[in-house]
Amino acid sequence: MGIMKIYFHNNCFDGLASAAVFSNFYLKAINKNCEFQYEGLAHRAGQLFLDVEFDGDENAIVDFKYSSDPRLSWWFDHHQSAFLSREDEAHFRADQSGRKFHDPTYRSCTKFIGQMLREHFAFDSSQLNDLIQWADIIDGAQFKDAQSAVELRESAMKLMMVVEGVRDREKICSLIVEFQRKSLDEIMEIPWVQDVFRPLYDRHLVSIDIIRRSAQCSEGTVFFDISDHDMEGYNKFIPYYLFPQATYCVGVSLSSFRAKISVGSNPWNSQPRTHNLAVLCERYGGGGHPVVGAISFTPEELPKARRVAQEIAGELRGGSKASC
Protein backbone atom coordinates (compact mmCIF):
# COMPACT_ATOMS: atom_id res chain seq x y z
CA MET A 1 0.00 0.00 0.00
CA GLY A 2 2.59 2.58 1.07
CA ILE A 3 2.33 5.99 2.74
CA MET A 4 2.74 9.21 0.79
CA LYS A 5 3.39 12.00 3.28
CA ILE A 6 2.88 15.51 1.95
CA TYR A 7 4.30 18.53 3.75
CA PHE A 8 2.63 21.79 2.72
CA HIS A 9 2.71 25.49 3.57
CA ASN A 10 0.31 25.57 6.51
CA ASN A 11 -2.60 28.01 6.84
CA CYS A 12 -2.11 29.09 3.22
CA PHE A 13 -4.73 28.63 0.48
CA ASP A 14 -2.00 28.04 -2.12
CA GLY A 15 -0.28 25.55 0.20
CA LEU A 16 -3.40 23.44 0.70
CA ALA A 17 -4.41 23.71 -2.96
CA SER A 18 -0.90 22.60 -3.97
CA ALA A 19 -1.20 19.54 -1.71
CA ALA A 20 -4.60 18.74 -3.25
CA VAL A 21 -3.38 18.95 -6.86
CA PHE A 22 -0.29 16.86 -6.12
CA SER A 23 -2.34 14.28 -4.18
CA ASN A 24 -4.78 13.96 -7.08
CA PHE A 25 -1.88 13.29 -9.44
CA TYR A 26 -0.07 10.85 -7.17
CA LEU A 27 -3.19 8.79 -6.50
CA LYS A 28 -4.18 8.54 -10.15
CA ALA A 29 -0.80 8.32 -11.85
CA ILE A 30 1.68 6.84 -9.35
CA ASN A 31 0.04 4.72 -6.64
CA LYS A 32 -3.70 4.07 -6.60
CA ASN A 33 -3.49 2.19 -3.30
CA CYS A 34 -1.44 4.58 -1.18
CA GLU A 35 -2.40 6.18 2.12
CA PHE A 36 -1.96 9.94 2.36
CA GLN A 37 -0.71 11.75 5.43
CA TYR A 38 -0.43 15.54 5.60
CA GLU A 39 1.62 17.86 7.77
CA GLY A 40 1.62 21.65 7.63
CA LEU A 41 4.89 23.57 7.79
CA ALA A 42 5.25 27.17 9.01
CA HIS A 43 8.05 29.69 8.61
CA ARG A 44 9.72 30.44 11.90
CA ALA A 45 13.05 31.46 13.35
CA GLY A 46 15.74 28.79 13.44
CA GLN A 47 16.06 25.51 11.55
CA LEU A 48 12.83 24.88 9.65
CA PHE A 49 13.25 21.12 9.28
CA LEU A 50 14.73 20.30 12.68
CA ASP A 51 11.63 18.38 13.84
CA VAL A 52 10.38 17.16 10.45
CA GLU A 53 10.66 13.38 10.36
CA PHE A 54 10.06 12.60 6.65
CA ASP A 55 8.61 9.29 7.82
CA GLY A 56 6.46 8.35 4.82
CA ASP A 57 7.41 5.67 2.30
CA GLU A 58 7.60 8.67 -0.01
CA ASN A 59 7.72 12.29 1.12
CA ALA A 60 6.81 15.47 -0.72
CA ILE A 61 7.08 19.18 0.06
CA VAL A 62 4.85 21.64 -1.77
CA ASP A 63 4.89 25.45 -1.60
CA PHE A 64 7.67 25.48 1.00
CA LYS A 65 11.45 25.69 1.19
CA TYR A 66 13.75 22.95 -0.07
CA SER A 67 15.24 20.26 2.14
CA SER A 68 18.32 18.25 1.16
CA ASP A 69 17.17 15.36 3.36
CA PRO A 70 17.65 12.15 1.29
CA ARG A 71 14.18 10.97 2.31
CA LEU A 72 12.53 13.79 0.35
CA SER A 73 11.12 12.27 -2.84
CA TRP A 74 9.18 15.15 -4.44
CA TRP A 75 9.44 18.96 -4.19
CA PHE A 76 7.62 21.86 -5.83
CA ASP A 77 8.08 25.53 -4.93
CA HIS A 78 7.72 28.94 -6.57
CA HIS A 79 9.28 31.25 -3.96
CA GLN A 80 12.36 33.24 -4.87
CA SER A 81 13.73 32.46 -1.40
CA ALA A 82 13.35 28.70 -1.77
CA PHE A 83 16.71 27.57 -0.37
CA LEU A 84 17.99 27.83 3.18
CA SER A 85 21.63 27.73 2.05
CA ARG A 86 23.83 27.65 -1.04
CA GLU A 87 24.50 24.01 -0.24
CA ASP A 88 20.78 23.24 -0.43
CA GLU A 89 20.52 24.98 -3.79
CA ALA A 90 23.53 23.05 -5.11
CA HIS A 91 21.92 19.83 -3.86
CA PHE A 92 18.74 20.66 -5.78
CA ARG A 93 20.66 21.55 -8.96
CA ALA A 94 22.46 18.20 -8.82
CA ASP A 95 19.25 16.19 -8.38
CA GLN A 96 18.60 13.71 -11.17
CA SER A 97 15.28 12.28 -9.96
CA GLY A 98 13.10 14.42 -12.23
CA ARG A 99 10.74 14.89 -9.28
CA LYS A 100 11.91 18.20 -7.83
CA PHE A 101 10.89 21.51 -9.40
CA HIS A 102 11.39 25.22 -8.76
CA ASP A 103 10.34 28.28 -10.75
CA PRO A 104 9.90 31.68 -9.05
CA THR A 105 8.20 33.17 -12.12
CA TYR A 106 4.92 31.45 -11.19
CA ARG A 107 2.53 33.45 -9.03
CA SER A 108 1.16 30.33 -7.31
CA CYS A 109 2.67 26.95 -6.54
CA THR A 110 -0.66 25.29 -7.38
CA LYS A 111 -0.55 26.45 -10.99
CA PHE A 112 3.16 25.62 -11.17
CA ILE A 113 2.47 22.04 -10.04
CA GLY A 114 -0.33 21.63 -12.58
CA GLN A 115 1.98 22.81 -15.35
CA MET A 116 4.88 20.58 -14.29
CA LEU A 117 2.61 17.55 -14.06
CA ARG A 118 1.36 18.26 -17.58
CA GLU A 119 4.82 18.79 -19.07
CA HIS A 120 6.76 16.05 -17.30
CA PHE A 121 4.16 13.36 -16.58
CA ALA A 122 1.46 14.03 -19.21
CA PHE A 123 -1.07 14.37 -16.38
CA ASP A 124 -4.22 16.42 -16.80
CA SER A 125 -5.29 18.32 -13.67
CA SER A 126 -8.11 20.18 -15.42
CA GLN A 127 -10.79 18.67 -13.18
CA LEU A 128 -9.34 20.94 -10.46
CA ASN A 129 -9.18 24.02 -12.70
CA ASP A 130 -11.40 26.16 -10.47
CA LEU A 131 -9.17 25.45 -7.47
CA ILE A 132 -6.02 26.09 -9.53
CA GLN A 133 -7.32 29.37 -10.90
CA TRP A 134 -8.41 30.66 -7.50
CA ALA A 135 -5.08 29.70 -5.91
CA ASP A 136 -3.37 31.71 -8.64
CA ILE A 137 -5.66 34.70 -8.05
CA ILE A 138 -5.22 34.59 -4.28
CA ASP A 139 -1.48 33.94 -4.07
CA GLY A 140 -0.73 36.29 -6.95
CA ALA A 141 -3.01 39.06 -5.60
CA GLN A 142 -4.77 39.19 -8.95
CA PHE A 143 -8.02 40.57 -7.60
CA LYS A 144 -9.83 43.25 -9.54
CA ASP A 145 -9.50 45.67 -6.64
CA ALA A 146 -8.90 45.84 -2.88
CA GLN A 147 -12.64 45.61 -2.22
CA SER A 148 -12.74 42.16 -3.86
CA ALA A 149 -9.83 41.04 -1.69
CA VAL A 150 -11.21 42.35 1.61
CA GLU A 151 -15.01 42.17 1.35
CA LEU A 152 -14.93 38.37 0.74
CA ARG A 153 -17.94 37.85 -1.49
CA GLU A 154 -16.66 34.71 -3.26
CA SER A 155 -16.55 31.22 -1.71
CA ALA A 156 -12.83 30.99 -2.49
CA MET A 157 -12.18 34.16 -0.50
CA LYS A 158 -14.22 32.90 2.43
CA LEU A 159 -12.28 29.62 2.32
CA MET A 160 -9.04 31.60 2.25
CA MET A 161 -10.08 33.07 5.58
CA VAL A 162 -10.96 29.64 6.99
CA VAL A 163 -7.61 28.20 5.83
CA GLU A 164 -5.65 31.10 7.33
CA GLY A 165 -7.60 31.17 10.58
CA VAL A 166 -8.29 27.58 11.64
CA ARG A 167 -5.74 26.02 13.99
CA ASP A 168 -7.19 22.49 14.07
CA ARG A 169 -4.76 20.19 12.22
CA GLU A 170 -7.44 17.62 11.41
CA LYS A 171 -9.72 20.24 9.84
CA ILE A 172 -6.88 21.77 7.82
CA CYS A 173 -5.89 18.39 6.41
CA SER A 174 -9.51 17.44 5.67
CA LEU A 175 -9.79 20.49 3.40
CA ILE A 176 -7.01 19.08 1.21
CA VAL A 177 -9.21 16.03 0.63
CA GLU A 178 -12.37 18.10 0.09
CA PHE A 179 -10.59 20.27 -2.49
CA GLN A 180 -10.25 17.14 -4.63
CA ARG A 181 -13.88 16.05 -4.29
CA LYS A 182 -16.11 19.11 -4.10
CA SER A 183 -16.53 22.56 -5.58
CA LEU A 184 -15.53 25.56 -3.48
CA ASP A 185 -19.21 26.51 -3.10
CA GLU A 186 -19.98 23.02 -1.78
CA ILE A 187 -17.08 23.10 0.66
CA MET A 188 -18.36 26.39 2.10
CA GLU A 189 -21.64 24.63 2.94
CA ILE A 190 -19.94 22.00 5.13
CA PRO A 191 -21.26 22.66 8.67
CA TRP A 192 -17.86 22.83 10.39
CA VAL A 193 -16.58 25.21 7.70
CA GLN A 194 -19.54 27.52 8.34
CA ASP A 195 -18.98 27.24 12.09
CA VAL A 196 -15.35 28.26 11.68
CA PHE A 197 -16.05 30.99 9.12
CA ARG A 198 -18.66 32.99 11.02
CA PRO A 199 -16.50 34.00 14.04
CA LEU A 200 -13.48 34.49 11.76
CA TYR A 201 -15.49 36.86 9.61
CA ASP A 202 -16.61 38.81 12.67
CA ARG A 203 -12.97 38.96 13.76
CA HIS A 204 -12.03 40.09 10.24
CA LEU A 205 -14.33 43.08 10.57
CA VAL A 206 -12.72 43.92 13.92
CA SER A 207 -9.24 43.56 12.42
CA ILE A 208 -10.04 46.15 9.77
CA ASP A 209 -10.80 48.63 12.53
CA ILE A 210 -7.69 47.66 14.56
CA ILE A 211 -5.40 48.16 11.56
CA ARG A 212 -7.15 51.42 10.72
CA ARG A 213 -6.39 52.70 14.21
CA SER A 214 -2.84 51.27 14.34
CA ALA A 215 -1.57 52.14 10.88
CA GLN A 216 0.36 55.20 9.78
CA CYS A 217 0.98 56.00 6.13
CA SER A 218 3.90 58.19 5.13
CA GLU A 219 5.80 58.62 1.86
CA GLY A 220 3.87 55.81 0.20
CA THR A 221 4.45 53.19 2.94
CA VAL A 222 1.97 51.97 5.54
CA PHE A 223 3.40 50.83 8.87
CA PHE A 224 1.46 49.14 11.68
CA ASP A 225 2.26 47.12 14.78
CA ILE A 226 -0.56 44.85 15.98
CA SER A 227 1.61 42.62 18.18
CA ASP A 228 -0.45 43.68 21.21
CA HIS A 229 -3.54 42.11 19.61
CA ASP A 230 -4.41 38.46 18.96
CA MET A 231 -4.38 38.85 15.19
CA GLU A 232 -2.43 36.03 13.61
CA GLY A 233 -3.69 35.39 10.08
CA TYR A 234 -5.25 38.78 9.30
CA ASN A 235 -6.16 39.64 5.69
CA LYS A 236 -2.97 41.04 4.14
CA PHE A 237 -4.88 43.30 1.74
CA ILE A 238 -6.55 45.38 4.47
CA PRO A 239 -3.81 48.07 4.43
CA TYR A 240 -4.40 48.74 0.73
CA TYR A 241 -8.15 48.76 1.28
CA LEU A 242 -7.67 51.47 3.90
CA PHE A 243 -4.81 53.31 2.15
CA PRO A 244 -5.26 52.81 -1.61
CA GLN A 245 -2.58 55.44 -2.32
CA ALA A 246 0.15 53.41 -0.55
CA THR A 247 2.83 51.57 -2.51
CA TYR A 248 4.23 49.40 0.31
CA CYS A 249 3.14 48.01 3.66
CA VAL A 250 5.14 46.80 6.68
CA GLY A 251 3.34 45.10 9.57
CA VAL A 252 4.40 43.49 12.86
CA SER A 253 2.35 40.71 14.46
CA LEU A 254 2.87 38.15 17.21
CA SER A 255 1.77 34.53 17.63
CA SER A 256 2.66 31.72 20.01
CA PHE A 257 5.63 30.60 17.90
CA ARG A 258 6.94 33.72 16.18
CA ALA A 259 7.14 37.47 15.93
CA LYS A 260 6.48 38.18 12.26
CA ILE A 261 7.24 41.08 9.95
CA SER A 262 5.06 41.13 6.83
CA VAL A 263 6.26 43.24 3.91
CA GLY A 264 4.08 43.77 0.86
CA SER A 265 3.39 45.96 -2.14
CA ASN A 266 0.05 47.30 -3.35
CA PRO A 267 -1.02 45.40 -6.50
CA TRP A 268 -3.53 48.13 -7.42
CA ASN A 269 -1.25 51.15 -7.13
CA SER A 270 0.16 52.51 -10.39
CA GLN A 271 3.24 53.87 -8.59
CA PRO A 272 6.21 51.74 -9.78
CA ARG A 273 7.70 49.32 -7.24
CA THR A 274 11.40 50.03 -6.78
CA HIS A 275 12.35 47.33 -4.25
CA ASN A 276 12.60 43.54 -4.50
CA LEU A 277 10.91 42.59 -1.23
CA ALA A 278 12.30 39.03 -1.21
CA VAL A 279 15.84 40.37 -1.33
CA LEU A 280 15.00 42.95 1.33
CA CYS A 281 13.62 40.28 3.67
CA GLU A 282 16.50 37.88 2.97
CA ARG A 283 18.83 40.47 4.45
CA TYR A 284 17.21 39.79 7.85
CA GLY A 285 16.83 36.01 7.46
CA GLY A 286 13.42 36.01 5.76
CA GLY A 287 12.33 35.76 2.15
CA GLY A 288 9.41 35.49 -0.21
CA HIS A 289 8.64 36.98 -3.63
CA PRO A 290 9.70 40.25 -5.27
CA VAL A 291 6.30 41.75 -4.42
CA VAL A 292 5.72 40.26 -0.96
CA GLY A 293 7.90 38.82 1.78
CA ALA A 294 8.14 38.05 5.48
CA ILE A 295 10.65 37.61 8.29
CA SER A 296 10.19 35.40 11.36
CA PHE A 297 11.75 35.89 14.79
CA THR A 298 11.15 34.02 18.03
CA PRO A 299 8.37 35.52 20.19
CA GLU A 300 11.03 36.71 22.65
CA GLU A 301 12.66 38.71 19.85
CA LEU A 302 9.63 40.97 19.40
CA PRO A 303 11.66 44.12 20.25
CA LYS A 304 14.14 43.18 17.51
CA ALA A 305 11.29 42.53 15.07
CA ARG A 306 9.86 45.96 15.80
CA ARG A 307 13.25 47.60 15.24
CA VAL A 308 13.85 45.74 11.96
CA ALA A 309 10.34 46.57 10.75
CA GLN A 310 10.98 50.26 11.36
CA GLU A 311 14.27 49.99 9.45
CA ILE A 312 12.51 48.37 6.50
CA ALA A 313 9.72 50.94 6.50
CA GLY A 314 12.31 53.70 6.55
CA GLU A 315 14.16 52.18 3.60
CA LEU A 316 10.97 51.80 1.58
CA ARG A 317 10.07 55.40 2.30
CA GLY A 318 13.52 56.67 1.40
CA GLY A 319 13.46 58.34 -1.97
CA SER A 320 9.77 57.58 -2.52
CA LYS A 321 7.79 60.14 -4.52
CA ALA A 322 4.48 58.66 -3.38
CA SER A 323 2.32 60.32 -0.74
CA CYS A 324 -0.29 59.12 1.75
What is the pLDDT, as a whole number, of residue 68?
A: 95
How many Cα atoms are found within 13 Å in the side-chain-facing hemisphere of 217?
A: 19
| Cα–Cα dist 28/272, whole Å | 44
Q: Assign 316 to helix, strand or coil.
A: helix
Tell which wins on pLDDT, 141 or 38: 38
User: Residues 37, 4: contact at Cβ < 8 Å?
Assistant: yes
CATH of 3-188, one of 3.40.390, 2.60.40, 3.30.450, 3.90.1640: 3.90.1640
**Nearest C-alpha neighbor of 109 from the set 201, 19, 30:** 19
What mean pLDDT, rounded, does the chain reach?
A: 94
User: Residues 292, 276: contact at Cβ < 8 Å?
Assistant: no
| Cα–Cα dist 198/15, whole Å | 23
Which residues of the chain does CATH 3.90.1640 include? 3-188
Confidence of residue 320 (pLDDT cuts 50, 70, 90): low
Alpha helical stretches, state H, 127-190: 129-139, 146-151, 155-165, 169-181, 184-188
What b/e string do you get for 142-168 counting C-beta neighbours within 10 Å, with b at 16 or more?
A: ebeebebbbebebbbbbbbbbbbbbee
Strand pairing category for 3-9 and 35-41: parallel
Cα 268 to Cα 136, 152, 246, 281, 293: the distances in Å are 16, 17, 9, 22, 17
pLDDT digits (tens, 9 = 90+) for 28-39: 999 999 999 999
Q: Which residues, 6+ apart, have CB-to-CB distance to 305 below 8 Å?
A: 227, 252, 259, 260, 261, 295, 297
What is the pLDDT, as a whole number, of residue 43?
A: 81
- pTM, entire model: 0.83
What is the pLDDT, as a whole number, of residue 44?
A: 75
Which residues of the chain does CATH 3.10.310.30 include? 206-317
> Nearest 5 degrees, angle CA 173-CA 177-CA 181?
155
76 forms bridges with which residues in the sheet?
Answer: 62, 101
pLDDT digits (tens, 9 = 90+) for 150-170: 999 999 999 999 999 899 999
Furthest CA-CA distance within the chain: 61
- On whether the 206-317 domain is CATH 3.10.310.30, my answer is yes
Q: Assign 40 to helix, strand or coil.
A: strand
181: how many CB neighbours lie within 10 A of its CB?
Answer: 10
DSSP character at residue 26? I
User: Residues 32, 40: contact at Cβ < 8 Å?
Assistant: no
What is the pLDDT, as a whole number, of residue 321?
A: 64
